[in-house]
């Protein structure tokens, strides 16, 4: 890819991510409150002034307005800016990942790589929504978790069909179905493993150890990226969750031994993201420990 095209695609990826995240902000705020995401149009919660299109440009508007409503100067939460930046950065990172990928594996056709990038962008969007809703309300909406499972299985079906066409074989072969089987195995493994953790945790602590939403979310991780990523995500999310739990205890001076309820969904997403971007590096690092 030449430098000009690369720059255009990079900017496009960041802008797309920031715009979609701007919409995700609306979803994160309204869906858990049972409000419609289409009406009423965006307005200031304090003075009800409608937000005009030029006040609604992701990232830039927040910075230009110094995080205040243009009408009443009520502060607009930096949460909005954070989500928009996160969307932009992650969409850009996904583009850079597949751009590097296409030079390492030139046999992958461009349109398949574009489809893979789209799957990542959709999943990143779902994870942003799920994480922030889970932080605020301690729940994971079905459209995030079940949506991820459906996305993973649809990608498996699609990849199997492409595999069959590219193999140009009229003979039925099971190997063509490998991507679909990988999706289904990942779904069953992710769901089953976390269900077991939840079951054992609930027995051990004599209270609900985690929500079913987390179990569904891990099913989605498996359906999208297969069983090895489920294991990686489980390990990383436990590490991230523990660090956050300890940090919370230190900040809030919560006595050890008392139960601190922290949402697990965001850490599953963080673990999954780390595996998506650094899975191979982590795997080689881990294997090198035993040399
Ligand atoms: Zn206002």
Same domain for 98 and 192, yes or no, is: no
Domain coverage including residue 210: 140-291
17 and 133 in a single domain? The answer is yes
- Final residue of a structural domain among 96, 118, 138: 138
Ligand 1 centroid distance, CA of 76 (Å): 9
Q: Are residues 285 and 149 in the same domain?
A: yes
Q: What pLDDT is recorded for position 225?
A: 96
Question: How remote is the CA of residue 52 from the centroid of ligand 1, in Å?
Answer: 12
Q: What is the pLDDT of residues 65-115, one digit of tens each?
A: 999 998 899 998 899 999 999 999 999 999 999 999 888 888 888 888 999
**What spacing in Å lies between the alpha carbon of 88 and ligand 1's midpoint?**
26
Q: Specify whether 106 is located in the same domain as 165.
A: no
Same domain, 178 and 106: no
Look at residue 171 in the predicted model and tell me its pLDDT: 62
Render pLDDT for 105-138 as a digit per residue (tens, 0 to 9).
888 888 889 999 999 999 999 999 999 999 999 9
Does 189 have pLDDT greater than 90? yes
Same domain membership, residue 169 and residue 290: yes
Q: What pLDDT is recorded for position 116? A: 93
Please check whether residues 287 and 145 belong to one and the same domain: yes
Q: Residue 15 C-alpha to ligand 1 middle, in angstroms?
A: 26
What is the 3-state secondary structure of the chain? CCHHHHHHHHHHHHHHHHHHHHHHHHHHHHHHHCCCCCCCCCECCCCCCECCHHHCCCCHHHHHCCCECCCCCCECCHHHHHHHHHHHHHHHHHHHHHHHHHHHCCCCCHHHHHHHHHHHHHHHHHHHHHHHHHHHHCCCCHHHHHHHHHHHHHHHHHHHHHHHHHHCCCCCCHHHHHHHHHHHHHHHHHHHHHHHHHHHHHHHHCCCCCCHHHHHHHHHHHHHHCHHHHHHHHHHHHHHHHHHHHHHHHHHCCCCCCCCCCCCHHHHHHHHHHHHHHHHHHHHHHHHCCC
Predicted confidence (pLDDT) per residue in 217-266, tens digit: 999 999 999 999 999 999 999 999 999 888 888 887 666 666 667 899 99
Centroid of ligand 1 to alpha carbon of 47 (angstroms): 4
Tell whether 262 and 170 lie within a shared domain. Answer: yes
Q: What is the pLDDT of residues 18-73, one digit of tens each?
A: 999 999 999 999 999 999 988 888 888 788 888 888 888 999 999 999 999 988 99
Task: Give 80 Cα–ligand 1 centroid separation in angstroms.
Answer: 15
Mark whether 150 and 263 lie in a shared domain: yes
pTM score above 0.75: yes
CA of 51 to the centre of ligand 1 (A): 9
Query: How many angstroms does the Cα of residue 217 sit away from the middle of ligand 1?
Result: 37
259 CA distance to ligand 1 middle (Å): 39
How many Å lie between the centroid of ligand 1 and the Cα of residue 48?
Answer: 6
Q: With a cut of 80, say whether residue 169 has pLDDT above it.
A: no
| Cα of 125 from ligand 1 centre, angstroms | 28
91 and 4 within one domain: yes
Q: Of 117, 138, 159, which residue is a domain's last?
A: 138
CA of residue 86 to ligand 1 center, whole Å: 25
The total of structural domains in the chain comes to 2
How far apart are the CA of 100 and the centre of ligand 1, in A?
44
- Whether residue 179 is found in the same domain as residue 287: yes
């Amino acid at each position: 890819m030449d430098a000009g095209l690369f720059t255009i695609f990079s900017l496009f990826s960041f802008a797309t991510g920031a715009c979609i995240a701007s919409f995700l902000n609306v979803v994160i705020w309204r869906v858990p409150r049972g409000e419609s995401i289409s009406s009423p149009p965006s307005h200031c919660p304090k003075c009800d002034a409608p937000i005009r299109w030029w006040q609604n440009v992701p990232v830039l508007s927040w910075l230009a307005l110094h995080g205040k409503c243009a009408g009443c100067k009520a502060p607009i939460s930096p949460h909005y800016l954070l989500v928009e930046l996160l969307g932009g950065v992650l969409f850009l990172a996904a583009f850079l990942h597949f751009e590097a990928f296409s030079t390492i594996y030139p046999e992958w056709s461009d349109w398949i790589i574009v489809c893979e990038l789209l799957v990542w962008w959709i999943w990143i969007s779902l994870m942003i929504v799920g994480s922030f809703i889970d932080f605020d309300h301690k729940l994971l909406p079905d459209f995030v978790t079940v949506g991820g499972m459906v996305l993973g299985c649809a990608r498996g079906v699609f990849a199997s069909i492409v595999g069959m066409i590219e193999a140009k074989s009229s003979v039925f072969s099971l190997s063509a179905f490998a991507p679909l089987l990988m999706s289904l195995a990942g779904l069953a493994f992710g769901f089953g493993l976390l269900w077991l953790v939840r079951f054992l945790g609930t027995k051990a602590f004599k209270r609900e150890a985690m929500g079913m939403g987390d179990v569904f979310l891990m099913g989605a991780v498996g359906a999208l990226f297969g069983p090895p990523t489920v294991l990686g995500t489980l390990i990383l999310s436990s590490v991230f969750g523990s660090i956050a739990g300890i940090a919370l205890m230190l900040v809030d001076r919560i006595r050890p031994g008392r139960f601190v309820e922290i949402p697990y969904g965001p850490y599953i997403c963080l673990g999954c993201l780390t595996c998506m971007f650094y899975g191979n590096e982590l795997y080689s690092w881990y294997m090198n420990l035993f040399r």
